[in-house]
Amino acid sequence: MKIELINTGKRYNREWIFRECNYTFLQGKAYAITGSNGTGKSTLLQTIAGAVTPSEGSLEYTPIPNKGIYEHLALAAPYLELIEEMTSAEMLQFHTSFKPFIAGIGIKEILELVGLGMAAKKQIRFYSSGMKQRLKLAQAIFSDVPILLLDEPCTNLDDNGIQLYKSLVKQYGDNKLIIVCSNDKQEYDFCTETINIHDYKPSMLKISQKQ
């Protein structure tokens, strides 16, 4: 699996969030998108996911057609909502109607692994923010897809939750293309390549072109 950004840019009205982004992401490697708050990290990640249409340039997904990319990726992000009237077991079962989980791991085991086994029959609306984040990570990490996208994955997690996140990514994300969107080093310290969103801001591009 390969994702290529070719002169890709996104703007809202007259403001460019990023421009002239050329980058290749390869399966089996982990990447971090960094930058200060409000600079467009999540917009870039959503563009990579196919949820946001670029304003210029293009994206290529190999070897799959662009229109089918959603079937091959999983995303965990603070802005994604859970169906709070469901229990976590029901939520994961509903999720399998869109994407299967890794073979050999059932829903009960997944909930145990993320520390939600005792709350499997409790409605999600009664979960703490940390429990909800564990469930979002479970949906994404255990999905049997080659691309794993994580936007601020440790949001609302305590120290134990952060260590659990790192352990799950290490154990179940080995052969995936992983992209972590964050400005917190502990969320992406396992990534081998870093993309700074500031490098694709129009003002920075002008500076680099002059040098």
> What domains, with CATH codes, occur in the chain?
2-210 (3.40.50.300)
What is the rounded CA–CA span in Å between residue 172 and residue 206? 41
Instruction: Indicate the range of 17-21, 23-27, 36-40, 90-94 predicted with least confidence.
Output: 36-40
- Mean pLDDT throughout 21-36? 97
pLDDT-derived band at 65 (thresholds 50, 70, 90) equals confident
Predicted local confidence at residue 130, as pLDDT: 97
Predicted local confidence at residue 205, as pLDDT: 53
pTM for the full predicted model = 0.93
- Mean pLDDT throughout 49-57? 95
Predicted local confidence at residue 209, as pLDDT: 47
Predicted local confidence at residue 207, as pLDDT: 42
Instruction: Indicate the range of 15-29, 61-75, 127-141, 168-182 predicted with least confidence.
Output: 61-75
**Which residue in this structure is represented by tokens 């002059």?**
210
15 alpha carbon, distance to own chain's centre? 24
Average pLDDT, the chain: 93
What b/e sequence results for 140-172 when a residue is b if at least 16 CB atoms lie within 10 Å of its CB, and e otherwise? bbbbebebbbbbbbbbebeeebeebbbebbeeb
What is the rounded CA–CA span in Å between residue 190 and residue 98? 29
- The CA-based dihedral angle spanning residues 46, 48, 52, 53, taken in that order and rounded to the nearest 10 degrees: 170
Predicted local confidence at residue 204, as pLDDT: 55
Predicted local confidence at residue 211, as pLDDT: 40
Predicted local confidence at residue 127, as pLDDT: 97
Predicted local confidence at residue 174, as pLDDT: 87
Enumerate residues 6+ apart whose C-beta is below 8 A from 201. 16, 18, 19, 39
